[in-house]
Amino acid sequence: MTIRTGAEYLAGLRDGREVWLAGRRVGDVLAEPVLAAAAHTVARLYDLQHDPEMRDVLTFQDGDERHPLSLAAPRDTQALQRRGAAFRATAEATFGLLGRSPDFVNTAVTAFASAAPFFDKADPHFGRNATAYHAACLAGDPFLSHATINPPLSRARSSHEQDDPDVHLRIVRETSEGVTVRGAKLIGTLVPVADEIVVFPLPGYRPGDEAYTLAFAIPVATPGLRIVCREPLVADPSRLLSTPLAPYEEIDATCVFDDVLVPWNRVFFHGDVDAANRLYDATTARHHTGQHSIIRGAVKAELLTGIAVALAEMSGTDTFLHIKEMLGEVLGSLELARAGIMAAEADAKISEWGTLTPAIAPVLALRYHFPRMTSRMIEVIQLLGGGSLLSTPAEEDLRSELWPGIERYFRGANGVPAEKRVRLLKLAWDATGSAFGQRQMQYERYHSGDPVRLAAAQYTGYDTAPLLQTVQRAMDPMRTQANTPETDFGDVYSPSETAS
Ligand SMILES: Cc1cc2nc3c(=O)[nH]c(=O)nc-3n(C[C@H](O)[C@H](O)[C@H](O)COP(=O)(O)OP(=O)(O)OC[C@H]3O[C@@H](n4cnc5c(N)ncnc54)[C@H](O)[C@@H]3O)c2cc1C
């Protein structure tokens, strides 16, 4: 059995990694409450793989070995749906609040390995490296994190045109041992408590950027790799009544590579602008991780819509028509998210790499609309909660001698006890209004690239021909009504003109 336990994962984090938090180098990430909370949440996911009830949902048997389902490339509908069920189980265990649970990057490296011939185009070693890395993940069950984006500096300039050549991550040296890389990548969510970091390019590179185009994976504890955590969003993760979602504060970080040696067997690709821009789509990593993202997102939407319903029922406002309309609206968004997941799976096609690949159109549709749906869900929760969201006493008050005397003022409608109402209001605020809740919103906007350019990609990649044929038919109403042959107006809207 190669799936690891939570304890094994936690033990592996004491490896001398260089993590910085609030101006201090952290000696032991498990001794820092915020980092330890994140690590223990991940550890619970590792333990879940061993739970007799969840084992067959989350893992698969291969001979004597068991592996995470996220490392299996789906070849048929049953396998794709089974992987979807595994994504859902992990998301349910974390309320969809852990965007970068271990199954996320597992899914990407599995897609890379399936698409080994893509990497072979640059050098046959690279495809072998991608499959060997996937095999190593199967054998060791490490927690993989990733960082793909270069620091902004100037988004108006390409990587090689930046004022400082060492800000965007680039190769500064090639030797017989490997490549030495310098610069930074972001946003490395959960990197401080991950085993490995995988770096790969997203589209946007231009000719001249060759040294900046690279994909590789190294242990987080590699010399020269410096992990700088962002400001923690939860002051004290042990105050679970006040901040019930604190265990899901998946710390983000900037990953600074200070002349880091990446051995050749860990390099998947480098030095090709065109390949860098195509990598995420051509390997179908976008499609496969997309399935993960929309399932996780729907589970989060279930939490948010559930909070909205509970708030309305608890205050008795669910009897008012305009409140029912709001609830119907957010429940409708949830249903659209679920429908998108089904469409992505139902329209899946076998890719050129032989894997059954989720349809990208529903994935991109949810990628664009889900942040808007989430934003509205947050707004509805705040409208329903009103001032009550900001009038709950502190956790300590509920445990003090003050509480019995004031408890009656915090009760809800229909006999809801005060502590239950306070807990719900705190949950609602944590999910929507706290720094944690705001980060969750920002995550939905940006977790897989710039939504503006992704929406544009939806258009340029979409098969609009059937739509334009409909327009063509509608422009010829005589033929449509009388079922007569088409009048030749010429192709007013030729699909080929609009497909670039
Ligand atoms: C909470 C959170 C966690 C994340 N976790 C991870 C992670 O674990 N791993 C990872 O790799 N990434 C992660 N991401 C990063 C994510 O991949 C990026 O945020 C995303 O790709 C957008 O890039 P950016 O933030 O640099 O924004 P930008 O690309 O700089 O976009 C900011 C704004 O500028 C506009 N803009 C920028 N450049 C252009 C341009 N050339 N043309 C037109 N408009 C432009 C955009 O439209 C947008 O409005 C995370 C992001 C968030 C918010």
Separation CA 337–CA 449 (nearest Å): 19
The total of structural domains in the chain comes to: 2
Give backbone dihedrals phi and psi of 182, rounded to 5 degrees, phi first. -140, 140
Question: Kind and range of the H or E element at 144?
Answer: strand 144-147
Q: Atom of ligand 1 at shortest distance to CA of 146?
A: 9
Distance 148 CA to ligand 1 centre (A): 10
Distance 446 CA to ligand 1 centre (A): 5
Separation CA 268–CA 288 (nearest Å): 19
Residues 6+ apart with CB under 8 A from 108: 146, 198, 200, 285, 288, 289
- Domain assignment present for 488: no
Q: Where is the domain boundary, 217, 248, 282?
A: 282
CATH number, position 361: 1.20.140.10
Instruction: Find, among 255, 123, 251, 150, the residue nearest to 206 by Cα.
Output: 150
Distance 443 CA to ligand 1 centre (A): 10
Residues 291, 276 within the same domain: no
Distance 9 CA to ligand 1 centre (A): 30
Residues 6+ apart with CB under 8 A from 31: none
ipTM of the complex: 0.97
Q: Atom of ligand 1 at shortest distance to CA of 448?
A: 17
C-alpha of 54 from chain center: 22
- Domain assignment present for 82: yes
Q: Atom of ligand 1 at shortest distance to CA of 147?
A: 11
Residues 275, 312 within the same domain: no
pTM over 0.80: yes
Residue nearest to atom 37 of ligand 1 (CA): 155
- Concatenate the DSSP letters of all residues of 272-330 into one string: -HHHHHHHHHHTTHHHHHHHHHHHHHHHHHHHHHHHHHHHHHHHTGGGSHHHHHHHHHH
- Positive/negative CA dihedral, 274, 278, 280, 285: negative
Distance 127 CA to ligand 1 centre (A): 28
- Out of 447, 448, 452, 454, give the residue to mutate to test ligand 1, the one with the largest number of ligand atoms within 8 Å of its CB: 447
Cα 260-264-269 angle, rounded to 5 deg: 95
Residue nearest to atom 1 of ligand 1 (CA): 443
Distance 135 CA to ligand 1 centre (A): 31
Residues 6+ apart with CB under 8 A from 213: 201, 205, 269, 270, 271, 272, 273, 275, 276
Strand ranges of the sheet holding 144-147, from the earlier edge strand across to the other edge: 144-147, 196-199, 214-219, 267-270
- Domain assignment present for 472: no
- Domain assignment present for 308: yes
Instruction: Find, among 187, 119, 87, 174, the residue nearest to 147 by Cα.
Output: 187
Q: Atom of ligand 1 at shortest distance to CA of 155?
A: 38
The answer to whether the beta carbons of residues 162 and 153 sit under 8 Å apart is yes
CATH number, position 47: 2.40.110.10
Distance 296 CA to ligand 1 centre (A): 19
Residue nearest to atom 48 of ligand 1 (CA): 450
Distance 442 CA to ligand 1 centre (A): 10
Report which DSSP code applies to 65: E
Residues 168, 207 within the same domain: yes
Residues 247, 290 within the same domain: no
Q: Which residues line ligand 1 (CB under 6 A)?
A: 100, 146-149, 152, 155, 187-189, 252, 439, 442-443, 446-447, 449-450, 452
Residues 268, 151 within the same domain: yes
Residues 195, 324 within the same domain: no
Residues 418, 271 within the same domain: no
- Out of 109, 155, 286, give the residue to mutate to test ligand 1, the one with the largest number of ligand atoms within 8 Å of its CB: 155
pLDDT tens for residues 464-495? Answer: 999 999 999 999 877 666 555 555 545 544 44
Q: Atom of ligand 1 at shortest distance to CA of 150?
A: 26
Residue nearest to atom 12 of ligand 1 (CA): 187
Cα 127-189-428 angle, rounded to 5 deg: 140
- Domain assignment present for 480: no
Residue nearest to atom 27 of ligand 1 (CA): 450
Q: Where is the domain boundary, 261, 282, 303?
A: 282
Residues 65, 203 within the same domain: yes
Q: Show the domain range for 349.
A: 285-460
Q: Where is the domain boundary, 425, 445, 460?
A: 460
Each of the 500 residues of the chain gets a pLDDT tens digit; together they read: 689 999 999 999 999 999 999 999 999 999 999 999 999 999 999 999 999 999 999 999 999 999 999 999 999 999 999 999 999 999 999 999 999 999 999 999 999 999 999 999 888 899 999 999 999 999 999 999 999 999 999 999 999 999 999 999 999 999 999 999 999 999 999 999 999 999 999 999 999 999 999 999 999 999 999 999 999 999 999 999 999 999 999 999 999 999 999 999 999 999 999 999 999 999 999 999 999 999 999 999 999 999 999 999 999 999 999 999 999 999 999 999 999 999 999 999 999 999 999 999 999 999 999 999 999 999 999 999 999 999 999 999 999 999 999 999 999 998 999 999 999 999 999 999 999 999 999 999 999 888 898 999 999 999 999 999 999 999 987 766 655 555 554 554 444 433 33
DSSP-based three-state secondary structure for 60:
strand
